[in-house]
Amino acid sequence: MSDRYARLVNAPIAGPIARRVGLPQPVRLERHRPGDPALRGLALLGTAPGGRLAQAVAEVLAQAGVDTATETPSDQRFKALVFDASAIADSTELVELQSFFHPTVGLLERCGRVIVLGTAPAACATPRAATAQRALEGFTRSLGKELGGRGVTVQLVYVAPGAEDELASTLRFLLSPRSAYVSGQVIRVGEPPRVDTPAGRDRAVGDAPSSDAPSSDAASSDAASSDAAPSVAAPSEIDWEQPLAGRVALVTGASRGIGAAIAQTLAREGARVAGLDVPALGDELRAAMQPLGGSAIGLDITSPEAPAAIVERFPEGLDVLVHNAGVTRDRTLAKMPAERWSELMAINLSSEERINDALLGAGALRAGGRIVCVSSMSGIAGNSGQTNYATSKAGVIGMVQALAPLLTDGQTINAVAPGFIETQMTAKMPIAIREAGRRMSSLAQGGLPIDVAETIAWFAHPASGAVNGNVVRVCGQNLLGA
């Protein structure tokens, strides 16, 4: 679905008029192209005194081939500003943010990136430190709103003590155009995951695999019947263009919209993809999977046999499961019949629980496996006419938070919460609501399915083992909700 307004207000004649009368002029967001550098420009690194992350950040960026600076020559422009605020331990020290960003924020290029790194308040040693670290959220969210008009995104990453070496996939994602429509988010990088399987017992996921670990060479061409894939890899061994090579991914609701984009993106990252959708969309699903060399599974996820059928379909287990299938059945509560409520809840939430239970119960999610759920901004902010939908999507967040600490073997579960994404679902909205959905965000435009897919690919990344239990909005920092 095309955004005619954005094209009009950026056209040669209408553009200057729009600017004069103060209409929002959404910038054309940069998006990832295969083979792109990790950052299209220079990164400026700063640290509040005593920061424990500066060195780790410098190492990740050097490994990624990013040019960095720690000083600001007067004629220099920057594509990214990265500030280590992890050691700020008192509200009086928050002025370090002002000292670093005040002179540099105007030097940011269009579609630039700002990342503030902190220590999660719960991990702070004193109430004052926890207070100061919590304050970083207000700073980053406000800066996101100030800079969004230029396509700049701003994030806060809380890094757990001991997780200093777990930043590679997260920094690369947030710096790159892959995160074009993610802004104002608080991301938590936790402790390094441990692998508990006999082959990898007591081995951190980032450590080098032992020689008897499963090899990616054993990959078969059929996504649904693979041999064992590598579950662990050292960051230096990761192919950053094809990090999912040898891994098997299942995407539900894959015949169109966001699900099709997820399948394409995971295949681009090297995964062997299986797409699942209702049998009635069999032709569309096969057409979507065929160019990816993926397999098509016609199955209604609400059917009683669906969980067992999925487990059976992957006798060697799954590396990535993306719960994307979902529906809306909007009505205000006063007009909501029980079947409208129950049908939606079965698709959006209960079937995901049943599939997770079956998969985990059968040990069919491999070591280092990833479950990624698709929630919604409505599940965070609520929405009139969507009590059923918002309940289901808030439930998805609850499921992620409840399961995250229970997973073993370096497995993770996370969720994306899309805001307004240009798909068939949003194309059906009345025009006024559609326009409001697009413009009411810091980036003043709707997102694309690829933006959700790129975020899922970051969660699915083998180096994202310390990213567990997160809910990240892909909403251009929509003004609704937290």
Under rule CB under 6 A, residue 473 binds ligand NAD? no
Under rule CB under 6 A, residue 317 binds ligand NAD? no
Helix, strand, or coil (residue 8): helix
**81-89, 208-216, 256-264, 364-372 -> range binding ligand NAD (CB under 6 A):** 256-264
Q: Which residues are catalytic?
A: 389
Q: Nearest approach, Cβ of 396 to ligand NAD (angstroms)?
A: 9
Q: Nearest approach, Cβ of 412 to ligand NAD (angstroms)?
A: 19
d(CA 466, CA 469): 9
3-state secondary structure 281-304: HHHHHHHHHHHHCCEEEECCCCCC
Helix, strand, or coil (residue 319): strand
Beta strands in 179-317 (DSSP E): 185-189, 194-195, 203-204, 248-252, 272-277, 295-298
Nearer to ligand NAD, 165 or 330 (CB): 330
Nearer to ligand NAD, 168 or 258 (CB): 258
- Contacts (CB under 6 A) with ligand NAD, residues 293-312: 300-302
Under rule CB under 6 A, residue 278 binds ligand NAD? yes
Among 376, 386, 391, 412, binds ligand NAD (CB under 6 A): 376
Under rule CB under 6 A, residue 418 binds ligand NAD? yes
Under rule CB under 6 A, residue 277 binds ligand NAD? yes
257-268 and 449-460 helices cross at what angle (nearest 10)?
50
Under rule CB under 6 A, residue 281 binds ligand NAD? yes
Binding mask 331-370 for ligand NAD (x = CB under 6 A): ----------------x-----------------------
By CB under 6 A, the count of residues binding ligand NAD is: 27
Sign, Cα dihedral of 201, 321, 236, 216 = positive
Residues contacting 147, CB < 8 A, separation 6+ = 105, 108, 112, 114, 154, 442
- 32: amino acid identity, one letter: H
Q: Nearest approach, Cβ of 352 to ligand NAD (angstroms)?
A: 10
Under rule CB under 6 A, residue 425 binds ligand NAD? yes
Nearer to ligand NAD, 175 or 421 (CB): 421
Under rule CB under 6 A, residue 275 binds ligand NAD? no
Under rule CB under 6 A, residue 170 binds ligand NAD? no
Distances (CA, A) of 212 to 199, 215, 231, 455: 7, 8, 12, 32
Helix, strand, or coil (residue 249): strand
Chain centre distance of CA 48: 28
Task: Give the DSSP H/E element, type plus range, for residue 307.
Answer: helix 306-313
Q: Which of 450, 449, 468, 456 is nearest to 411 (CA)?
A: 468
Among 423, 442, 455, 478, binds ligand NAD (CB under 6 A): 423
- Contacts (CB under 6 A) with ligand NAD, residues 25-54: none
Residues contacting 19, CB < 8 A, separation 6+ = 25
d(CA 482, CA 476): 13
> Residue 361: how many CA atoms within 13 Å on its side-chain side?
11
Q: Nearest approach, Cβ of 371 to ligand NAD (angstroms)?
A: 14
Under rule CB under 6 A, residue 448 binds ligand NAD? no
Q: Is 10 exposed, middle or buried (CB count within 10 Å of its CB: 0-12, 13-18, 19+)?
A: middle
Structure tokens at 301: 């996820």
Among 51, 112, 243, 253, binds ligand NAD (CB under 6 A): 253
d(CA 456, CA 465): 13
Nearer to ligand NAD, 213 or 377 (CB): 377
Under rule CB under 6 A, residue 192 binds ligand NAD? no
Q: Nearest approach, Cβ of 318 to ligand NAD (angstroms)?
A: 16
Under rule CB under 6 A, residue 395 binds ligand NAD? no
Under rule CB under 6 A, residue 256 binds ligand NAD? yes
Among 83, 181, 420, 459, binds ligand NAD (CB under 6 A): 420
Under rule CB under 6 A, residue 330 binds ligand NAD? no
Nearer to ligand NAD, 47 or 423 (CB): 423
Structure tokens at 451: 């933006």
Q: Do 186 and 479 touch, CB atoms closer than 8 A?
A: no
Under rule CB under 6 A, residue 259 binds ligand NAD? yes
Among 14, 327, 358, 479, binds ligand NAD (CB under 6 A): 327
Q: Which of 392, 455, 446 is nearest to 422 (CA)?
A: 446
**188-196, 227-235, 274-282, 456-464 -> range binding ligand NAD (CB under 6 A):** 274-282
**139-147, 212-220, 247-255, 404-412 -> range binding ligand NAD (CB under 6 A):** 247-255
- The β-bridge partners of 445 are none
Nearer to ligand NAD, 112 or 437 (CB): 437
Q: Which residues bind ligand NAD (CB under 6 A)?
A: 252-253, 255-259, 277-278, 281, 300-302, 324-327, 347, 374, 376, 418, 420-421, 423-426
